[in-house]
Amino acid sequence: MLSLLFVGIRLEQQFGFVRIGILYLLSGFGGAVLSALLLKNNISVGASGALFGLLGAMLSELIINWTIYSNRVAALLTLMVIIVINLGIGLFPHVDNFAHIGGFLSGFLLGFVLLIRPQFGWLERDDLPPSAQVTSKYKAYQYVLWVIALLLLIAGFAVGLVMLFRGVNGNDHCHWCHYLNCVPTSRWSCDD
């Protein structure tokens, strides 16, 4: 819930409620699809996949707009620590880490698509003097990341939905994936 307050509000102030609303809903959907593929005998509900989508979007926004930030290494390290701690908590039983991972990946890719910003110093053509040279609104790496993320997002949702509607059990194709959701110890069992 704290990530919704700190991350969600910050992103909404910078990019508007429409972009962040779309990102939030699609991240939640991506988390639900991955969870449904890998947790066949359980029902999972909640907003944690969408919240992880906000964390993923914040990470991709930092990467795609890297040249704009001044304290980028500190911001990157802080965000990575928050993500690792939250994913670590998901290894406890009865926490749907597949929704977290699916939401994070969806939000990460959506961040590249929806949260791209013009580079520092870019001006509209109308605002420039006639003799001034026009610079590109975005850097080349931003275009490349945008295209790759969009293609991966479309492919991921398409494959995930086809697998889901065909009734495929994701654990049949990934025998170690159940350890991403719960790590068995002497204190608890993951079969409950």
What's the total number of domains in the chain? 1
Q: The domain containing residue 98 runs over which residues? A: 2-120+133-180
- The CA distance from 58 to 39, in Å, is 27
Task: Provide the residue type at 126 as one letter.
Answer: D
Q: How many CB atoms lie within 10 A of CB 133?
A: 5
User: Would you say residue 115 lies in a domain?
Assistant: yes
User: Would you say residue 112 lies in a domain?
Assistant: yes
User: Would you say residue 185 lies in a domain?
Assistant: no
106 is catalytic: no
User: Would you say residue 190 lies in a domain?
Assistant: no
Burial class (CB in 10 A: 0-12, 13-18, 19+), 113: buried
CA angle 102/61/82 to nearest 5° reads 60
Task: Provide the residue type at 38 as one letter.
Answer: L
Which whole-number Å values give the CA distances from 116 to 143, 164, 171, 182, in the listed order? 9, 31, 35, 35
Q: Hunting for tokens 């620590």 — which residue is that?
A: 81
48 is catalytic: yes
Looking at 27, 48, 60, 106, which residue is catalytic? 48
3-state secondary structure at position 146: helix
pLDDT at 4: 72
- The CA distance from 61 to 40, in Å, is 33
User: Would you say residue 32 lies in a domain?
Assistant: yes
151 CB-near residues (< 8 Å, 6+ apart): none
User: Would you say residue 191 lies in a domain?
Assistant: no
* Alpha-carbon radius of gyration of the chain: 19
pLDDT at 105: 97
pLDDT in 10s for each residue of the chain, 192 residues: 666 777 888 889 989 999 999 999 999 999 999 999 988 777 788 888 999 999 999 999 998 888 777 888 998 998 899 899 988 888 888 888 899 999 999 999 999 999 988 766 655 656 556 666 666 777 888 889 999 999 999 999 999 999 999 998 888 888 888 788 878 788 877 765
Are 35 and 160 in contact by the 8 Å Cβ rule? The answer is no
Looking at 27, 44, 100, 106, which residue is catalytic? 100
User: Would you say residue 126 lies in a domain?
Assistant: no
Look up the pTM and report it: 0.86
113 CB-near residues (< 8 Å, 6+ apart): 146, 149, 150, 153
